[in-house]
């Protein structure tokens, strides 16, 4: 049977801030396809609450933002990348304002220089520009509207990338990326997307953990596909756990923005005693790794299911004006945050490592770029500072777009790509295998590769993930693929990479904390993994 084939200049896998920014930054003579495995705005960008870190105030400085980022990154940030990113921040904000993003302004302000800025953990100044407590939603919807005005951009909804097509894996010389095989969820058929340039903008892999603040789309697809295609990955042991997710049976890990702590909210125990001052002089505004470990410590010490975040000492109007969505969601669940502390727990939130790229988003594979949370640029080091993530998405999307436009638009030779062959597989009657393995993976990753680690826990996790790899590989070879199977396959791959990376780091640094190696080593080094058969 013939595989449907699509031809584009640029294929963007992922529809968050990174992917949409790149598409909008390219000139309109590029034919662009954007793949979205759910609705276009069902990704981490849409649910981002806090804002975008940028130097916009006369009392702030580029050097201050750079130093704050380097300190939060615990010695592993790449200084030239940090400087490059921070210096682009005003331009990115101006571009978003031009596109129509409606950031909050100070009362009575009319000009673009009168934005309301908030302060979050790790920042020494108020520099987080936001749209109430739904900044990601405002950015995502604005960029999506702008994309719909461009006739050169085509959205493909309910399309899940299966694997990248690269020359090495189809018997050709070299290893250039030629496109991707993609599952059309509506038809159940795999289609071929050919493109001169392919961009991975699929987000992170926090769904590998049992508890996560991320939407269901965060299954590490791009990282796993890039690894199979021959890309190195780096620093995947650094998984950021957001300290404050709503603890409620109906909340589905609803995030409570760090901006609450920036505006004075206090972390308290069940008896309402504050505790963060015992762990760090910065208390609630310490970097996320410190706050998450402190909460984890107190919950284990007391045997309690959660701790609490209390902003009820602030005026009711202030809370409702600044955090309308958090107030409304909590109120729906019977929690009035103007009078009552919010029950919270840490949850997996951000993948600091990823596909190794250069300053233009280029990976090891020719014609393949990675941007946003799926990439490793060197910006975040061992711990991402709050609100640097959306900034990174858009800075490196812009850099990648500029680099693509400097390359030949049309390739002189496009090797023939074989059609997708599913003639030897059958429909599965054993889907219980997927759901069981899915649950097992996320539970042992949470228990053994979570906020606090040990050598023994990591080795246990490695043995279990190797068994799952064997089972899923056999399943993948014999049955027709589905979205759940693809996500499970990718999560197992990324889980193994996370575990391998964690085993290699014999120290505690930033987000990687191990009881067996509690001290810092001299000389910070990235953990770089090289795919077999590509080294």
Give the model confidence (pLDDT) of 330-372 as tens digits.
999 999 999 999 999 999 999 999 999 999 999 999 999 999 9
271-275 average pLDDT score: 96
> For residue 298, how many C-alpha atoms fall within 13 Å in the half-sphere facing its CB?
25
All residues at 6 or more sequence positions from 497 whose CB lies less than 8 Å from its CB, including other chains: 223, 227, 233, 236, 529
Lowest mean pLDDT segment, chosen from 34-48, 132-146, 314-328? 34-48
283-288 average pLDDT score: 89
| Region label for 523, one of left (φ > 0), alpha (ψ between -120 and 50) or beta (otherwise) | left
Query: Check: CATH 3.40.50.720 for 242-349?
Result: no
Q: Rounded distance, CA 23 to CA 400, Å? A: 10
Q: What is the pLDDT of residue 425?
A: 73
Query: Is residue 429 predicted with pLDDT exceeding 80?
Result: no
Question: Burial level of 483, CB count in 10 A (0-12/13-18/19+)?
Answer: middle
Q: Rounded distance, CA 97 to CA 142, Å? A: 10
CATH code for the structural domain at 5-237+352-405? 3.50.50.60
Q: Rounded distance, CA 393 to CA 409, Å? A: 24
**For the chain, percent helix, then strand, then coil, each to nearest 5?**
35, 20, 45
Determine contact, residues 355/376, Cβ cutoff 8 Å.
yes
DSSP 8-state class, residue 511: T
Q: What is the pLDDT of residue 428?
A: 67
Determine contact, residues 353/501, Cβ cutoff 8 Å.
yes
Q: Which tens digits make up the pLDDT trace of 47-66?
A: 777 799 999 988 899 999 99
Span(s) in the chain for CATH 3.90.700.10: 242-349
Residue of 348, 353, 395, 343 lying closest to 374 (CA atoms):
353
Fold annotation for 432-525: Methane Monooxygenase Hydroxylase; Chain G, domain 1 (1.20.58)
Span(s) in the chain for CATH 1.20.58.100: 432-525
Span(s) in the chain for CATH 3.50.50.60: 5-237+352-405
Q: Alpha-carbon dihedral of residues 400, 406, 410, 413, nearest 10 degrees? A: -90
Q: How confident is the model at residue 181 (pLDDT cuts 50, 70, 90)?
A: very high
DSSP 477-489: HHB---HHHHHHH
Query: Is residue 257 predicted with pLDDT exceeding 90?
Result: no
Q: Alpha-carbon dihedral of residues 238, 243, 247, 252, nearest 10 degrees? A: -40
Query: Is residue 112 predicted with pLDDT exceeding 70?
Result: no
Q: Rounded distance, CA 455 to CA 462, Å? A: 11
All residues at 6 or more sequence positions from 498 whose CB lies less than 8 Å from its CB, including other chains: 205, 208, 236, 237, 239, 445, 449
Is position 288 annotated as part of the catalytic site?
yes
Phi (first) and psi of residue 7, to 5 degrees: -120, 125
What does the buried/exposed string (b/e) look like for 10-49 if buried means 16 or more CB atoms within 10 Å of the residue's CB? bbbbbbbbbbbbbbbbbeeebbbbbbbbbebbbbbbbbbb
β-pairing, 117-118 with 128-129? Answer: antiparallel
Q: What is the pLDDT of residue 157?
A: 95
Lowest mean pLDDT segment, chosen from 33-42, 325-334, 360-369, 388-397? 33-42
Q: Which tens digits make up the pLDDT trace of 201-246?
A: 999 999 999 888 888 888 999 999 999 999 999 999 999 998 999 9
Q: How confident is the model at residue 535 (pLDDT cuts 50, 70, 90)?
A: low
Among candidate residues 288, 464, 489, 505, the one labeled active-site is: 288
478-504 average pLDDT score: 94
* Stated length of the chain: 535
- The residue ranking higher by pLDDT, 439 or 46, is 439
Q: What is the pLDDT of residue 50?
A: 79
Average pLDDT, the chain: 92
Determine contact, residues 344/294, Cβ cutoff 8 Å.
no
Lowest mean pLDDT segment, chosen from 48-52, 126-130, 163-167, 421-425? 421-425
Query: Is residue 516 predicted with pLDDT exceeding 60?
Result: yes
- The residue ranking higher by pLDDT, 428 or 258, is 258
Q: Rounded distance, CA 456 to CA 178, Å? A: 42
Residue of 279, 181, 189, 255 lying closest to 225 (CA atoms):
181
Q: How confident is the model at residue 108 (pLDDT cuts 50, 70, 90)?
A: low
Q: Rounded distance, CA 256 to CA 309, Å? A: 9
């Amino acid at each position: 049977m013939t595989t449907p084939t699509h031809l584009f200049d640029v294929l963007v896998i992922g529809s968050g801030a990174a992917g949409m920014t790149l598409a909008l930054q390219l000139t309109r003579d590029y034919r662009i396809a954007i793949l979205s495995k759910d609705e276009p705005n069902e990704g981490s960008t849409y649910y981002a609450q806090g804002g975008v870190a940028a130097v916009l105030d006369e009392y702030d400085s580029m050097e201050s933002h750079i130093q704050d980022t380097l300190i939060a990154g615990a010695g592993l940030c790449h200084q030239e990348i940090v400087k490059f990113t921070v210096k682009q921040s005003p331009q990115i904000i101006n571009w978003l304002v031009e596109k129509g993003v409606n950031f909050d302004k100070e009362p009575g302000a009319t000009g673009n220089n009168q934005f309301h800025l908030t302060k979050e953990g790790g920042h020494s100044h108020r520099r987080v520009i936001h749209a109430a407590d739904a900044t990601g939603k405002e950015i995502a919807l604005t960029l999506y509207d702008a994309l719909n005005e461009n006739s050169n951009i085509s959205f493909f909804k309910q399309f899940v990338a299966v694997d990248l097509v690269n020359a090495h894996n189809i018997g050709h010389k070299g290893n250039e990326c030629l496109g991707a095989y993609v599952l059309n969820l509506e038809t159940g058929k795999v289609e071929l997307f050919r493109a001169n340039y392919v961009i991975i903008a699929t987000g992170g892999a926090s769904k590998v953990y049992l508890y996560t603040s991320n939407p269901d789309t965060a299954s590490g697809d791009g990282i796993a596909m890039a690894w199979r295609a021959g890309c190195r990955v780096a620093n995947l042991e650094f998984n950021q756990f957001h300290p404050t997710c709503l603890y409620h049976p109906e909340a589905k890990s609803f995030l409570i923005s760090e901006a609450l702590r920036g505006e004075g909210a206090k972390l308290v125990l069940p008896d309402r005693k504050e505790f963060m001052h015992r762990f760090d002089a910065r208390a609630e505004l310490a970097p996320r790794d410190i706050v998450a470990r402190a909460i984890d410590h107190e919950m284990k010490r007391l045997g309690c299911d959660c701790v609490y975040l209390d902003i009820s000492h602030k005026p009711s109007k202030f809370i409702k004006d600044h955090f309308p969505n958090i107030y409304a969601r909590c109120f729906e669940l019977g929690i009035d945050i103007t009078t009552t502390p919010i029950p919270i727990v840490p949850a997996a939130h951000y993948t600091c490592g990823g596909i190794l790229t250069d300053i233009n988003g280029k990976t090891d594979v020719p014609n393949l770029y990675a941007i946003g949370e799926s990439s490793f640029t060197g910006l975040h080091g061992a711990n991402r500072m709050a609100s640097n993530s959306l900034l990174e998405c858009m800075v490196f999307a812009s850099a990648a777009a500029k680099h693509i436009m400097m390359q030949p638009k049309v390739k002189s030779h496009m090797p023939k790509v074989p059609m997708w062959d599913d003639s030897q597989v059958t429909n599965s009657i054993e889907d219980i295998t997927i759901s069981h393995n899915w649950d097992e993976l996320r539970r042992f990753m949470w228990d053994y590769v979570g906020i606090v680690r040990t050598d023994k826990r990591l080795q246990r996790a490695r043995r279990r993930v190797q068994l799952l790899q064997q089972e899923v590989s056999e399943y993948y070879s014999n049955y027709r693929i589905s979205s759940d199977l693809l996500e499970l396959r990718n999560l197992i791959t990324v889980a193994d990479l996370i575990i391998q990376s964690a085993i290699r780091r014999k120290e505690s640094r930033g987000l990687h904390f191990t009881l067996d190696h509690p001290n810092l080593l001299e000389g910070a080094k990235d953990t770089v993994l090289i795919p077999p058969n590509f080294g």
